[in-house]
Structure 1
Amino acid sequence: WPNLRNPDCKICIVRGGTSLPCFDLSIREFSSHQLNANLLWPGTFFFADWLVKNPSILDGQRILELGSGTGALAIFLRKTFGVDITTSDYDDKDIEENIAHNCRVNKLDVLPHIRHTWGDPFPILQPDWNIVIASDILLYVKQYPNLITTLSFLLEESDLNSQKSVCTNITTKAGTQVAARHPMFLMSWRRRIGKDQSIFFDGCEKAGLEVQHLGDLVYLINKKR
């Protein structure tokens, strides 16, 4: 795992150690899980570091994380920024209970959690999250259509669409400014880079979503105007 901004601040895992900026966290992993929701993946750490460098994006926002896995990123963001964040993952009791465990051992109230299988009807009919986030969730190509279905619902059916458009300016790695409209999807992807990634992004475009690369393998996805 990479060292990030502060090598003295480590995240302690049952089977090893690695770094997140600013905080010591204890995170329990499963020994195995059918959908690989048991481990911390590289995108979590790179995305955490990117968000620390771009904190204004999170200021005052309501956030939903897709594919939360162990809950490490959500716990980190809650402790770092005090954000209003909800975790979500596959409809699985073990995942939900492990996220709750990791909240408690890090001295946090248990975060709100949504059990949802991508592509199924979303349990909240009118979503109102300003930002949806995810890291390293593009493992299974066959699930891309289901993920895009869920993502399209969250962006297209958000009650924020009926309000006056609110934009957040994001500075890309190249130094240019991108106006990101709410609701938005921010995703970091590190596990596998190649043609599979393009399949997902092409599917987003065909579904009426706009994809922008912000640099450092962080992507912004909005509903097309």
Structure 2
Amino acid sequence: MITFPKNDIQKLCVREFSCHELNANLLWPGTFSFATWLVKNRSILDGQRILELGSGTGTLAIFLRKAFGVDITTSDYDDKEIEENIAYNCKANNLDVLPHIRHTWGDPFPVSRPDWDVVIASDILLYVKQYENLVKTLSFLLKEYKQNGQKAGCTTITDKSGTQVPARSPMFLMSWRRRIGKDQSIFFTRCENAGLEVQHLGDLVYLINNKS
């Protein structure tokens, strides 16, 4: 049983399994801090189609679905055990099983016309050797985005300095619970080289968009 930052939906039942080569079996601490940030900035999610990369146990997606009723799809490494565990955790929390996409970063994405307005992830920068593949997947999701109807989400996010930052779809919101070190900075450099813009919003949350 774990506790999340919302009075009426504080506790979730989450099953973690013993081991996985990419650590998708565990609930990472960054999930909690990112959930807190999203609760404070929930208008970003209103009326949006959301995709979570690196869903792991599915906990963040389950929380957002239960707390706000968002339209959210989980995604992780192409692995049956991960998908089945996310489905188990959905049912354990009295939810219908969320849509799930098996996808190994860097491989062709199984959806040819991505229409997710907001892509989210937390604690996914563990493996430097995967950065190139992650950026390839992220570039596809942002650059090939096809809007599906009119969206009602907020148009700005307030960053750590109080500045209003445009929040245009498609966007990638990522939390990383540690201070960015030399290795992680490689990821942001690769994003910029791929034509993406990176902004630090504070609270270890980053916004990535297509460059204007």
Same fold (TM over 0.5): yes
In the aligned structure 1, how far is the partner of 2:144 from the partner of 2:105? Answer: 16
CA deviation map 1:105-148 (0-9, x unaligned): 00000000000000000000000000000000000000000000
Alpha carbon RMSD of aligned pairs, Å?
Answer: 1.8
Higher RCO structure, 1 or 2 (CA under 8 Å, sep 6+): 2
Counterpart amino acid of residue 81 in structure 1: F
Correspondence 1:34-45 to 2 at 5 A: 34-45=21-32
Q: How big is the shift at 1:192?
A: 6.3
| Partner residue of 2:58 out of 71, 78, 86 | 71
Runs of 4+ in structure 1 deviating by more than 6 angstroms, as ranges, are none
Aligned to 1:32: 19
In the aligned structure 2, how far is the partner of 1:191 from the partner of 1:174? Answer: 20
- Gaps (5+ residues) in structure 2? none
Aligned to 1:115: 102
In the aligned structure 2, how far is the partner of 1:214 from the partner of 1:192? Answer: 13
Q: How big is the shift at 1:43?
A: 1.1
The answer on 1:19 being equivalent to 2:6 is no
- Gaps (5+ residues) in structure 1? 1-11, 13-17
TM-score (norm 2): 0.94
Q: How many positions carry a matched residue from both structures? A: 208
Give identity over the alignment, percent.
79
Aligned to 2:44: 57
| Partner residue of 1:193 out of 180, 189, 206 | 180
In the aligned structure 1, how far is the partner of 2:58 from the partner of 2:159? Answer: 27
In the aligned structure 2, how far is the partner of 1:199 from the partner of 1:79? Answer: 35
TM-score (norm 1): 0.89
In the aligned structure 2, how far is the partner of 1:43 from the partner of 1:111? Answer: 21
The answer on 1:143 being equivalent to 2:127 is no
Aligned to 1:132: 119
In the aligned structure 1, how far is the partner of 2:69 from the partner of 2:154? Answer: 21
Counterpart amino acid of residue 103 in structure 1: C
CA deviation map 1:24-75 (0-9, x unaligned): 1000001110100011111100000000011110111000000000000000
Q: Are 1:167 and 1:182, in contact at CA under 8 Å, matched by a contact in 2?
A: no
Q: Which moved more, 1:106-115 or 1:30-39?
A: 30-39
* Matched residue SS, 2:109: coil
